[in-house]
Structure 1
Amino acid sequence: MAATEAVKKAIWLKGLVAELSLVQLELIIRCDRQSVIHLIKNQRFHEHTKHIDVIFHFIRDVIEDGDIKVEKVITDNNVADMLTKTVLLAKFAHYKDLAGIGGKKVMHQLIDKEEPNDQDPSGSQTKKCINQIFDEMFEDQVRRGKENRSGHEIKEGKKVMHQLIDKKETNDQDPSGSQTKKCINQIFDEMFEDLDNSSIKSCIIFKVNVRLRESNPDAYTPKMVSIGPYHKKNPQLGPMEKYKLLYLQRLRKEGLDVKSCITYLEHLKEEALKCYDDIEDLDTDGSHEFCKMLLLDGCFVVEFIRECSEIYPKGEEKIISFVDYKYNQILRDLLLLENQLPFFILDWLHLITMQDDDELSLEELSITMFSRVVNLGYILTCDEYHLKRCRIYASDMKHLLQVVHGVSCQRNFKICSNDDIKWNKVMPNATELSEAGVSFAKVSNMTSLFDIKFENGLMTMPSLHVVDSTEILLRNLIAYEQQSIDLEYLYFSDYATFMDHLINSNKDVKLLRRKGIIKSWIGDDKEVARIFNKMRNGVRSYSTFYYHEQYTSISAL
């Protein structure tokens, strides 16, 4: 039908040309559909053509008389497409060339205009502007997706167009194409400007990666108070801001100079910023927002820890007491990886606000506070000697979560090799081991959560108290290990891997519970099994796997 309309117009144009006394021996109609050409030349009736009205069949007579000739044209050379379809800009220029109405030559004259001026002698700004125009056109095509064109085709077109625009055409003014290269280099120089490899290495307060987060996002998200920049703009945590101000107000009454603090924090700001991953939507220039956050959040943490150790001004009440419903939630939030301040900020605020020279150090106060609420069994045995020994490593403290991690682990020297070989072994679960003759027993004198041994068919393990906060604490300690680059042993990650192999179902939990190895306060055994089976998602173990010997001994059974 479309071909018939084209022929009708062709006949009219042929008549017009004849009236102008011009001779045209043969008129050619080009069609990109081979099936249409066959249909025009074939007089047979076909069931697929019964919907075509008889009036459209006159084209066959015209073709048979030889007045007009129909030829096949490949799609790439079908000039009519630029008027009837949405096409890529590069193809549009090609069609214009075929039609003899401009095309690449005109476009190059527009893009690579060689008329220098005082403000832009190289024409680089003109090129940049046109690049932006075409980028907007391509993005619009991607959004609309007309004629079922895929985003891939449009991106390819964009790539071709940039090659066309940035094509190195030598000329008298710029024989080497250096101006074009300079423009591109300037763009990337701006991108590289704020890139600092040292900031990547010094990051200690991470955003939890997607693989760890996806199985339980709530385990890494504060519910009561925001500490640091990552969750600062969460409106649900807004009510706690007034408590931060109350703690700061109390410190001001005791002599804290807020202005001097902000001034000093400005000197520490760059070092503090490097402790975080990319911080979005936080004004760190000019308005002191980042430093005000460090002061408010830091004073809140320091004073809250002091109150937990019964250190607060005489004659005043605690701002947040033990019986307050917020207390346990705050303790939970202070042990989240994404909810931390650099320890050197907290330690400095603690030192300048001390009212008693005999007051314990901040790391000792922190360990004492968390030992009351972290029900993993290992901190509960911390004695005065252990606390004093922690002071030796105060300079290595990174944040509160790392303090808990440090006193939980027997040793953790800085990594001394780049061995990145993954540990990928399998082990029978507790039920299968029991059926194979292995016995289980609880460690009598527990010194560490990780003190698991297997000798002569007997597996001894420390007791683990599973409470509401257990999964959250373990997950955040694991996230810290998985994203740190300076740890030799990943104690909690390897413990989670070992327990995931040991526990496959509620039957395994029941067996360990009867032996006193697991003490659950959260409900049925299925829930405990679920915690350990999901906790290991996204966790990687390496060749330094802490339970290598135990695996080897069990494999020898």
Structure 2
Amino acid sequence: MAEQWIIDLTKQLQSPLPSTDNKLWTKSIYRVPKILTDVNSQAYEPKLASFGPYHHDCRHLRPMEQHKHRALIQFLRRIGKASKTPDDVLVSMKKVEPSLRFSYDSLQTEDDGDGVPEKAYPRHHDWTKDEFLKLMITDGCFTLEVMLAEKRSATEEQSEYDSHDPVFGAHRKNYVIPDLKRDMLLIENQLPLLALTTLADIEGSGIGDVNNLIKSFYNISSTSPDDLITEEGLKPVERSFHILDMYRKIMTANGDYLPSYVENVQSATELRDAGVSFCRSATKSFRDISFAGGKLSLPPLEIDDTTESLMLNLMALERLHATAGNEVTAYAFFMDGLINTSDDVALLRTEEIIMGWVGCDNNIANLFNRITKEATLVVFKDDIQIDVNRTLNDYCKKNIHKWRASFSHTYLQNPWVLFSLIGGLILLGLTIAQTVYTVMSYYKA
């Protein structure tokens, strides 16, 4: 057996190296490794609906399948008005099927014919191309219908669904939409954006621009990562792979913060005692962190029950995808350094940097301390022109800032203490004046 192994290795050495356009490099949707799921496995699992193959046919998600089928039928009825048929949908999706399939890691169809097949999760069987196409079309139409129904409800347009519809109706959206929004931002629960744009481009779909639909659905207004201005003018720069990837790119589009080898070791309350003040950044971008003139600017973050799941999935994408970057992970580590106790949370809440309500401030402190567990922050640049961590630490080392902060905190925060100080200074001044007058009178006499 060892000899055969050496023969196989020799054959592999004689094969050409894989090119950069090899399907290996097209992966963008991953299974989360056990080292990350051990921290919080529920953060990566869908609650209401599966999107794509990884969680398809999970028992607790099966009730949503009938609603997916209803969404598919509604989509087909709408394009039927433009003389498009289900066969037109199938033809369009067949053209992009290889690209859609290669987007998934740990997935292979039985028709690939390139050796030992891998297994799909959680069904543990090989996906035929017909099964995979059916899944992409059904889940893709459901995704588009959910976002379109929410957009029409927000703009008070006429809905195609009954107001009492259990998923798409106006009376149920406050119960269903938040969980669907969460499920659509799980790294294991992604659909390639190519699937959504292919379906939306079919005449009569009524979807419009998918990028704008996604931004409207998640209420994230920013320059689209697909329409950045370059030196050559307005042109596409980098396409998003899926909804989670687009969300990450938009939420890291502004700001210049970069992690450095210098660690931020002071908590928010310690920084305050060292003379640092806090304020909100101009945007919500995770990179919009800056420090100048003794003022630390931080992006506002609204915390709810889905925040931990969102942060962990964004960080997982950065860890698993080679070209994703590490902006969200850097933000998480920075906030973990700032927040050690509930007092740190209370201080940031006072400045409206942290908003929302999740139990108590201690729960929020534990959240930031927990999401960085088993996470890895990689520093890509040795020379950073604006090193926030280093500048912050150098500022805190100067005693004059501490003395000024102590004086301000002791005497200027409470008006009664300030009045007492002023009164004491006036009394001291009068006493000195009286003493000087007495001494001068004595010498004159």
* 8 A Cα contact 1:496 1:532, kept in partner: yes
Q: Which moved more, 1:196-205 or 1:504-513?
A: 196-205
Q: 1:269 Cα shift? A: 2.3
Q: 1:322 Cα shift? A: 4.1
CA distance in 2 between counterparts of 1:304 and 1:538 reads 34
What are the equivalent positions in structure 2 for 1:29-178 lying under 5 Å apart?
Answer: none
Return the match for 2:322 from 474, 477, 485: 485
Corresponding position of 1:206: 30
1:440 matches 2:278: yes
What are the equivalent positions in structure 2 for 1:91-490 lying under 5 Å apart?
Answer: 181=4, 185=8, 198-254=22-78, 255=80, 256-279=84-107, 280=120, 281-285=124-128, 288-310=130-152, 316-317=161-162, 319=165, 320-324=168-172, 325-352=175-202, 354-356=204-206, 360-371=208-219, 379=220, 382=221, 389=227, 393=236, 396-410=239-253, 423=261, 425-443=263-281, 445-446=282-283, 448-487=285-324, 489-490=325-326
**What TM-score comes out, normalization by structure 1 length?**
0.57
Structure 2: which 5+ runs fail to align? 108-119, 229-233, 398-445
CA distance in 2 between counterparts of 1:453 and 1:353 reads 47
Per-residue CA deviations over 1:347-383 (Å, capped at 9, x if unaligned) read 0101115355xx6301101101111xxxxxxx3xx27
Per-residue CA deviations over 1:20-51 (Å, capped at 9, x if unaligned) read xxxxxxxxxxxxxxxxxxxxxxxxxxxxxxxx
Corresponding position of 1:522: 358
Which one-letter code corresponds to 2:195 in the other structure? I
Q: Which has the larger radius of gyration?
A: 1
CA distance in 1 between counterparts of 2:349 and 2:239 reads 37
Q: 1:265 Cα shift? A: 2.8
Q: 1:441 Cα shift? A: 2.7
After superposition, the Cα gap between the structure-2 partners of 1:264 and 1:449, relative to the gap in structure 1 and judged at 3 Å, is closer
Q: 1:409 Cα shift? A: 1.9
Which one-letter code corresponds to 1:305 in the other structure? M
Q: 1:429 Cα shift? A: 1.4
Per-residue CA deviations over 1:273-316 (Å, capped at 9, x if unaligned) read 11111122243336x11111011001101111111111888765
| Partner SS, residue 278 of structure 2 | strand
Return the match for 1:535 from 355, 371, 390: 371
After superposition, the Cα gap between the structure-2 partners of 1:536 and 1:354, relative to the gap in structure 1 and judged at 3 Å, is farther
Which one-letter code corresponds to 1:307 in the other structure? A
Q: 1:464 Cα shift? A: 1.7
| Partner SS, residue 291 of structure 2 | strand
Corresponding position of 1:508: 344
Which one-letter code corresponds to 2:180 in the other structure? I
CA distance in 1 between counterparts of 2:377 and 2:296 reads 22
After superposition, the Cα gap between the structure-2 partners of 1:435 and 1:337, relative to the gap in structure 1 and judged at 3 Å, is same
After superposition, the Cα gap between the structure-2 partners of 1:486 and 1:183, relative to the gap in structure 1 and judged at 3 Å, is closer
Q: 1:424 Cα shift? A: 6.8
Which one-letter code corresponds to 1:429 in the other structure? S
After superposition, the Cα gap between the structure-2 partners of 1:188 and 1:216, relative to the gap in structure 1 and judged at 3 Å, is farther
Per-residue CA deviations over 1:496-527 (Å, capped at 9, x if unaligned) read 01001111121211222223221231121110
CA distance in 2 between counterparts of 1:214 and 1:547 reads 37
Corresponding position of 2:431: none
* 8 A Cα contact 1:500 1:532, kept in partner: yes
CA distance in 1 between counterparts of 2:51 and 2:318 reads 20
Q: 1:332 Cα shift? A: 1.1
Q: 1:473 Cα shift? A: 1.5
Percent identity (aligned): 27
After superposition, the Cα gap between the structure-2 partners of 1:412 and 1:449, relative to the gap in structure 1 and judged at 3 Å, is closer
Which one-letter code corresponds to 1:361 in the other structure? D
Task: Count residues with an aligned counterpart.
Answer: 354
After superposition, the Cα gap between the structure-2 partners of 1:435 and 1:308, relative to the gap in structure 1 and judged at 3 Å, is same
Structure 1: which 5+ runs fail to align? 1-161, 167-180, 372-378, 414-420
